[in-house]
């Protein structure tokens, strides 16, 4: 297949003001525009908001298709693998496009992500989200090291205000599956792991939150950013009026030129009331045989995959990283990529899913998930982020997240199960993780 030539995006323009990206996408969504947001409020991070649609790279029955703003297919790639087909299509799209020489986040840019299982179209509540979707927006606004650049239709910077109903203040929260039943699955998972079916499996829970008013995606994203500033805040509008939002702590991949980085996380504990209690909880996590073994499976998988693509790889020691209400074991992995340098989406096809959201070995863990979990994950456990035409980009693991409706949300949290997992402790850990979204819904 040859390159796909499209009209190049307008040159990036540096703005003399820095619009709040959440406010921008919130107003655009209220005005009926398609919106996407990937933001991290740390100094050197790249944050991008996308408004409108020029092109979509979207999964198809046979691979991936490039669609224009009317949904007509412009080009396609056949399998195997929908995510791999999307990666090849993005490479074709980038090959003859004017990529520009501006900073990261400018030129040919796509935002989006993919489902936990990119090989199968999500069903049920996830009908508005294809298995893979990366969108070239009509307007991309990127904040890079304190500077802000806009690429595309600058008229979209000015969004009209619009009315929406009163926001929800109270929620009725119910587990989609009875907690006792879920704990029974944890017990069975541990038993089957002890019997040797797998080394680890991740089981997730789903809860429904029904509000007494409107659940607006923009304010939810703003609350998540304010409460979890060190996380990746994301918001992706679905085709059916839903929105996928979250605050992920975990970097799946970052590619910058010839450099690649990942920070796998597995093993969690709560935050304390003060530094002393924080340190005590962290020490207990580090000393936990179960949590260290679980973490090592994930870190080793990421290191092995990236080592095959690198001429040099550095793997750090497990360390504690702290967020607003939770602490994780994390390992930093960074490397120098081989030539010809693989693109970030090519690397994602090799790395996803990691044991942090699936288990190990991969196929055995998938079978246990299918047998025991009992929910449609959709994009939960997939990845969200951005790509550029130069092959750079950043993808976060889609966790600490929920699917938002007009008056409610489906929220997701999962844990890694090991042979010695204790059901009550695993349930409490999912409750801790679910607080991320529950606290943001009524803010």
Q: What does the pLDDT look like over 143-162, one tens digit per residue? A: 998 899 999 999 999 987 66
In a domain, 276, yes or no: yes
| pLDDT at residue 86 in the model | 97
**CB–CB of 25/36 below 8 Å?**
yes
Please say whether the beta carbons of 30 and 218 come within 8 A: yes
Q: Which residue numbers are catalytic? A: 200, 250
pLDDT band, very low/low/confident/very high, at 11 (cuts 50, 70, 90): confident
| Alpha-carbon span 439 to 323, nearest angstrom | 15
In a domain, 243, yes or no: no
Q: Helix, strand, or coil here: 212?
A: coil
Q: Is the pLDDT of residue 135 over 90?
A: yes
Range of the domain at 206: 171-221+251-378+402-441
Report yes or no on 207 lying in a domain.
Answer: yes
Looking at residue 9, what is its pLDDT? 63
Q: What is the rounded average pLDDT for all residues in the chain?
A: 92
- 7 occurs within a structural domain: no
pLDDT number for residue 95? 82
Is residue 100 pLDDT above 90, yes or no?
no
Burial 112-133 (b: 16+ CB within 10 A, else e): bbbbbbbeebbeebbebbbbbb
Q: Residue 266 maps to which CATH number?
A: 3.60.120.10
438 band by pLDDT with thresholds 50, 70 and 90? confident
Does residue 239 belong to any structural domain of this protein?
no
Q: What is the pTM of this model?
A: 0.95
Distance (Å, rounded) from C-alpha 321 to C-alpha 297? Answer: 18
Position 6 pLDDT exceeds 70 = no
Is residue 277 included in any domain, yes or no?
yes
Nearest 10 degrees: Cα torsion 234, 79, 298, 189? 100
Please list, in sequence order, all residues whose beta carbon lies within 8 angstroms of the beta carbon of residue 82, skipping any fewer than 6 positions away.
Answer: 59, 60, 63, 64, 118, 119, 131, 132
Total number of domains in the chain: 1
Model pLDDT for residues 15-43, shown as the tens digit of each residue: 998 899 999 999 999 889 999 999 998 87
The answer as to whether 154 is a domain residue is: no
Q: Confidence class of residue 298 from pLDDT cuts 50, 70 and 90? A: very high
In sequence order, the 6+-apart residues with CB closer than 8 A to the CB of 23 are 218, 222
pLDDT of residue 386: 97
Is position 270 within any domain?
A: yes
């Amino acid at each position: 297949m040859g390159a796909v030539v499209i009209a190049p995006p307008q040159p990036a323009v540096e703005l003399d003001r820095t619009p709040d990206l959440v406010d921008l996408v919130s107003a655009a969504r209220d005005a009926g525009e398609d919106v996407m947001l990937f933001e991290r409020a740390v100094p050197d991070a790249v944050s991008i908001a996308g408004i409108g649609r020029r092109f979509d790279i979207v999964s198809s029955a046979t691979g991936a298709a490039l669609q224009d703003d009317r949904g007509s297919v412009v080009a396609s790639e056949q399998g195997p693998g929908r995510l791999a087909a999307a990666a090849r299509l993005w490479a074709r799209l980038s090959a003859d496009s004017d990529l520009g020489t501006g900073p990261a986040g400018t030129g040919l840019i796509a935002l989006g992500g993919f489902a936990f299982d990119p090989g199968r179209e999500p069903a049920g509540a996830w009908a508005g989200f294809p298995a893979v979707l990366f969108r070239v927006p009509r307007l991309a606004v990127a904040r890079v090291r304190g500077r802000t650049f806009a690429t595309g239709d600058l008229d979209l910077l000015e969004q009209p205000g619009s009315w929406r109903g009163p926001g929800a203040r109270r929620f009725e929260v119910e587990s989609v599956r009875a907690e006792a039943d879920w704990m029974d699955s944890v017990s069975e998972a541990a038993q089957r792991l002890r019997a040797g079916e797998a080394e680890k499996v991740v089981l997730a829970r789903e809860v429904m939150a029904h509000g007494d008013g409107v659940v607006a995606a923009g304010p939810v994203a703003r609350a998540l950013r304010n409460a979890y500033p060190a996380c990746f805040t994301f918001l992706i509008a679905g085709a059916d009026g839903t929105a996928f939002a979250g605050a992920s702590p975990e970097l799946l991949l970052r590619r910058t030129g010839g450099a690649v980085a990942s920070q796998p996380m597995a093993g969690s504990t709560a935050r304390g009331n003060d530094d002393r209690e924080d340190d005590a909880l962290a020490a207990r996590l580090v000393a936990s045989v179960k949590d260290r073994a679980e973490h090592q499976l994930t870190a080793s998988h990421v290191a092995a995959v990236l080592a095959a693509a690198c001429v040099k790889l550095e793997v750090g020691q497990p360390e504690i990283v702290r967020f607003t209400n939770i602490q994780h074991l994390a390992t930093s992995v960074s490397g120098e990529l081989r030539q010809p340098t693989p693109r970030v989406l090519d690397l994602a096809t090799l790395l996803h899913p990691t044991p942090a959201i699936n288990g190990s070995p991969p196929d055995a863990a998938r079978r246990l998930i299918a047998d025991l979990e009992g929910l449609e994950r959709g994009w939960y456990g997939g990845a969200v982020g951005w790509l550029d035409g130069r092959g750079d980009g950043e993808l976060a693991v889609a966790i600490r997240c929920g699917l938002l409706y007009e008056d409610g949300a489906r929220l997701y949290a999962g844990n890694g199960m090991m042979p010695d997992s204790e059901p009550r402790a695993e349930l409490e850990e999912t409750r801790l993780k679910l607080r991320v979204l529950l606290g943001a819904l009524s803010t």
